[in-house]
Structure formats: structure tokens, C-alpha cells
Amino acid sequence: MQKVQKVVIAGGGTAGWIAAATLSSQLGSLIDITLIESADIGTVGVGEATIPTHKAFHRLIGVDEQEFMQKTQATFKLGIEFSNWGDIGESYFHAFGQIGRSTWMGDFQHLWQHANTLGWGGELQDYCFELQAAKAGKFGKDNKTNINYAFHLDASLYASFLSEFSQARGVKRIEGTIDQIEMDSETGHISKLILTNGKSVSGDLFIDCTGFKGLLINGALGVGFEDWSHWLPMNSAWAVQTESKQDIPPYTKSIARDASWQWRIPLQKRVGNGLVFCSDYISDQDALQLLTDNLEGDMLTQPRLLKFKTGKRKKTWFKNCVAIGLSSGFLEPLESTSIHLSQIAATRLVQMFPFNGMDETLQTHYNSYVDGEVNSIRDFIILHYTLNRRPEPFWQHAATMDIPDSLRHRMELYTKTSIAFQNDGDLFRVDSWNQVMLGQGAKVEGYHHMGRLVKNDNLRKAFNDLQMQIKKAVEGMPMHSDFLRQYGVLSNQ
């Protein structure tokens, strides 16, 4: 009765091999998987930072963490340090860990707001273990330590790692470039891909991982693109690798600059750098100069210019084609969500695999999940831009631009009541919204008064005890570089 057996993945790179690894590890005995990629077609390859869902993905497909880290030059990531985003000279962390202790009545920030009215609450970041470890440059994990982390990795090496992983589980790789796409005249479905060498590859389900071009979902099926440039106007990036000159920090750096922001991503033996910018406010050459003036360490590669448009495909799954990766849309790398979006798209496809054939109800259900999560991530990224007090024209535009109603509601609710929330399907937790709202300078007018139900002395002791526990735990941790050596993923050379 199975109508869909042959899956063809068009394009390799990180997205293609994530799709192959997910499908082969979970459904490998039920389906036939072929991936087509060309060595002549380069990949974007700037997505070198991830979020904590990466660990869950690896557990799902059966990846050994140490082997993965060795083969991809990976390091640990506890969050992102944002500098100059609220205003020039300011900085804050968006860390991955839990902040304080929450109750069913309300989250920790309400207790913290109450403590501040009493004069001793301190900073919200004082109550996050991962944040304090990141600031100290430390990392450690064992069976007793509950630490929330992600990775920095070499995206090209990661694609190679997953390629080896997938082919060991039966995925067939074909080297070639897609020349033509044949369609079924009755259904309008894709029937086969014709390569430049004349070889044809037929399939029942096609996964488009061909990057920004979207050769299948856009080129063949004509699914349009929803442009979000009016909310996220960054449209260009320079990327370059530099030598590592210092200890490896366990976090990503994001530094806001004029009409741009710079990333620094520390790997084991090099640093990934880039400048994301809006070409409406700064030229390509001026942006390159701004990046090179602010590099730490000698360049190992020549800077590479990337052009993009933020937004998403109007339908991610249409007829017998599912777009995964850049072909489905693009959100700039500010919160390191690109690799996650490929992983979650692939795992949802496993959950909703169309064994009995293409069904519009199933496709609508899949697309609604994708839209909900991507829209929420979009709002989270816009928050960084709209909540700023910088004087330059670009940043003033960002501070005054129209924003989605969904984000406006979140911001108004937070400033009036200190309530942050996570809907079903939202990627970012309450702790994330708290850190970015406050880090960007949101002024809170009110909060839940549950703190008044606790005696002041008891509340203060609980806060002090939590700070001491975090301080003691951080003091007992090794430096990040030392732990990488202990863990067997970083050589002593």
C-alpha cells in the first residue's frame, strides 16, 4: 500500500545532508533515499553556530558527540554576547540556561523585579549558571552537571560528517548538476531530475536543498516568496576566517556597528568572522573595510561577499516537493537558527511522512507548523533591532519601523506586566525573551506581586543561596580550552 518510497534530495550542503541523515536514521528501512550534489556548486557555509536543540537532534539520529566535535572542529557554546545593540557601549548576554527558579504562579523575573524594589535584586544575569560560566570563559559537563549548551562548528565539515553518516545508512549519493526538471502532465508533480551528464533520477518525493535559487520549489513549481525585508533589512554579508589568537571563549560574539553587526565564532583552530549589513545604508566596500578594521588575528581566507533576502517560501511543502534550508527561506544568522530550522523541518517530515501519497491536508498541517515557528523566530530577531537607542540613520529607522502585531503584543505585555511567554511551537523560551527584552533596554512598568507573599528575609536568603551555588559551581569548572582537551576533541598542539 506504500505509495511513496523513492525520496530524492536535490542538493547537498548542510541542509541536504541533515535531511539525508534524519530520513536514513529514522525511516531507512522503509524508503529509498538518493542525494544529488555537485562539487562545482559552493555552499553558503556561514552557519557555524547552533542552539541547544542541536544536542537533541544528535541524540535522535544517533551521533556520538565527541566524534562529531573532533571531525567538525567544534567547540561548546553557552550563548551569545551582544555588544552595542541597545546603545553604543552597552552589552548583555543571551545565555542558554535557566534564570533563577520559577513557580507555577509566575516566572523568576517577577521575584527579581520585587527584589529590586527592595534594593538588593542585582542583575538578572546573576542568577543564570550558564551565563556566569560563559563570562568566566569556563565550561564543563559530567553526569552531575546540568548545563545547557550548543556548539560552534565548521559547517562544511559538518556536511561532510553527515554525508559519511548517511551513506553508511544506505543513502545513495550521485555527483552531478541538475539541468532539467520533468513534470507529470496530469498531477503537476515533479517526476524526475535530468542531470547535465544525461542521467535521470526519478522519485516519489523530492526535497529541495538547492539554496537560495530553490530550483524545484520555485523554479519548477513556482511557489512564491514572502519578503520580510521591510522588517529585517539586512541583505548582505562579508565572511572571512582568521587565526585564533587567544583562549577559546564558550560563546558567540555579536557586535553591532554602523548599519551592520559583526559575528565572531570561535572554533578549535580558527575563528569565523563576518559582517551582516544593509547595503541601503553602507556600501559593500565600506562594509568590508569596517569588518577588516575590527578583526582579531590574521586572515586565513579571502573575504567572501554574500547577498540575500530575508523571508520565507509561501509554502514549504507543495505537491510532491518539500523545501529544506535556504530554499525554504532565510532568517539572518543573528540567533544561530539556520541549522536548527533544517533539522526541525527534516524531523517533522519524518513525523508526517506521506507513505500513502501526497495529501493536501497533511501538507497544510506541515506548513502551518513551519510558518508558526519561523514567524516566532522572525519576531525574536526583529526585537533586537526595534528596541535600540543608537543615533545612526539605520538604527533610527529600525527603532521606528512598523513591526508585526504579534511582536507588538509581546513587547506591550512585557513592558506593562513583565510577563514573557512561550507558545506551542515557539523556539525561544521565556528566559530568552527576558534576556533580550531587558538587555535591549525595555522599561518595565509592572510585575506580578507574588514576591510579597514571601518574607523579605527568606526571599533574600533564597536569592543569595542561588548566587552562591552558581559562583561555587563556576569556580569548580575548567577553562573552556582545557575541557576541550580533557574531552578528547582538542589536541595539545
Could you report the per-residue pLDDT of 277-308, keeping only the tens digit for each? 999 999 999 999 999 999 999 999 999 999 99
User: 349 lies in a domain?
Assistant: yes
- List pLDDT tens digits, range 90-139: 999 999 999 999 999 999 999 999 999 999 999 999 999 999 999 999 99
Q: Are residues 199 and 338 in the same domain?
A: yes
Domain co-membership, 410 together with 471:
yes
**Which are the contacts of 226, defined by CB distance < 8 A and separation ≥ 6?**
311, 312, 313, 314, 329
Residue 397 lies in a domain: yes
Q: Name the residue among 128, 156, 116 with its Cα closest to residue 456.
A: 116
The cell numbers describing 428, all together, are 525561544
Complete DSSP assignment for 11-58: --HHHHHHHHHHHHHHHTTT-EEEEEE-TTS-------B--THHHHHH
- Say if residue 214 is in the same domain as residue 163: yes
CA dihedral 236, 241, 242, 243 (to 10 degrees): 160
We report the CATH number of the domain holding residue 11 as 3.50.50.60
Judged against a pLDDT cut of 90, whether residue 361 lies above it is answered with: yes
| Count of structural domains within the chain | 3
Domain assignment present for residue 33? The answer is: yes
88's CB contacts (< 8 A; 6+ apart) are 390
Q: Are residues 288 and 328 in the same domain?
A: no
**107 DSSP assignment:** -
Q: Does residue 71 belong to any structural domain of this protein?
A: no
At residue 171, the 3 state secondary structure works out as coil
**In the predicted structure, residue 9 carries a pLDDT above the cut 90:** yes
pLDDT of residue 397: 97
| pLDDT above 70 as % of the chain | 98
Q: What is the pLDDT of residues 51-97, one digit of tens each?
A: 999 999 999 999 999 999 999 999 999 999 999 999 999 999 999 99
Return the pLDDT at 79.
Answer: 98
Both 169 and 276 in one domain: the answer is: no
- The reply to whether 274 and 294 lie within a common domain is yes
Pairing between β-strand 79-83 and β-strand 252-257 as defined by DSSP bridges: parallel
Residue 490 lies in a domain: no
> What confidence category does residue 324 fall into, taking pLDDT thresholds of 50, 70 and 90?
very high
pTM for the complete prediction?
0.95
Distance separating alpha carbons of residues 444 and 437, to the nearest angstrom: 10
**Residue 189 within any structural domain of the chain:** yes
Residues 6+ apart with CB under 8 A from 469: none
Using CA atoms, how far residue 181 sits from 53, 212, 215, 287, 290, in Å, is 35, 17, 9, 39, 43
Q: How far apart are CA 254 and CA 132, in angstroms?
A: 18
Q: Are residues 283 and 134 in the same domain?
A: no
Taken in order 400, 405, 411, 415, is the CA torsion positive or negative?
positive
Res. 43 pLDDT band, cuts 50 70 90: low
Assess whether pLDDT exceeds 70 at residue 47: no
The rounded distance, in Å, linking the Cα atoms of 291 and 289 is: 5
Please check whether residue 378 lies inside any domain of the structure.
no
Q: How confident is the model at residue 145 (pLDDT cuts 50, 70, 90)?
A: confident
pLDDT of 425: 86
Catalytic residue (choose from 77, 312, 315, 319): 77
142 pLDDT band, cuts 50/70/90, is confident
Round to whole Å and give the CA distance between 229 and 312: 11
For the segment 39-47, the average pLDDT, to the nearest whole number, is: 61
Section 434-447 average pLDDT: 96
- Res 247: pLDDT: 86
Residue 65 included in any domain: no
How far is C-alpha 437 from the geometric centre of its chain's CA atoms? Answer: 19
Residues 466 and 399 in one domain: yes
Residue 289: give the domain boundaries.
236-307
Give the mean model confidence (pLDDT) for residues 342-368: 97
Of the three residues 307, 322, 344, the one that is the final residue of a domain is 307
Residue predicted with more confidence, 436 or 48: 436
Q: Is the pLDDT of residue 144 over 80?
A: no
Using pLDDT thresholds of 50, 70 and 90, give the confidence band for residue 393. very high
Question: Do 291 and 280 share a structural domain?
Answer: yes
Reply yes or no on whether the pLDDT at 226 is more than 90. yes
Cα dihedral 62, 64, 69, 75, rounded to 10, equals: 80
Q: Which residues contact 319 (CB under 8 A, 6 or more apart)?
A: 187, 188, 189, 190, 221, 358
Residue 42 confidence (pLDDT) above 70:
no
> Cα-flanking dihedrals φ and ψ of residue 165, to 5°?
-60, -45
Residues 326 and 212 in one domain: yes
339 and 268 co-located in one domain: no
Q: Residue 355 — pLDDT band, cuts 50, 70, 90? A: very high
Q: State the pLDDT confidence band at 15, using cuts at 50, 70 and 90.
A: very high
User: Which alpha helices (DSSP H) does 118-204 contain, by range?
Assistant: 129-135, 155-167
- Residue 210 in this model has a pLDDT that exceeds 70: yes
Task: Report how far residue 52's alpha carbon sits from residue 54's, in angstroms, rounded to the nearest whole number.
Answer: 5
**How large is the average pLDDT for residues 221-233?**
97
> C-alpha cell of 457?
528575609
**Mean pLDDT of all residues in 373-379:** 96
Q: Same domain for 220 and 319?
A: yes
Does 472 participate in catalysis according to the annotation? no
What pLDDT score was predicted for residue 1? Answer: 74
**Nearest alpha-carbon partner for 214 in 304, 306, 316, 307:** 316
Q: Residue 298 sits in a domain of what CATH number?
A: 3.30.70
pLDDT tens for 242-270 read 998 778 999 999 999 999 999 999 999 99
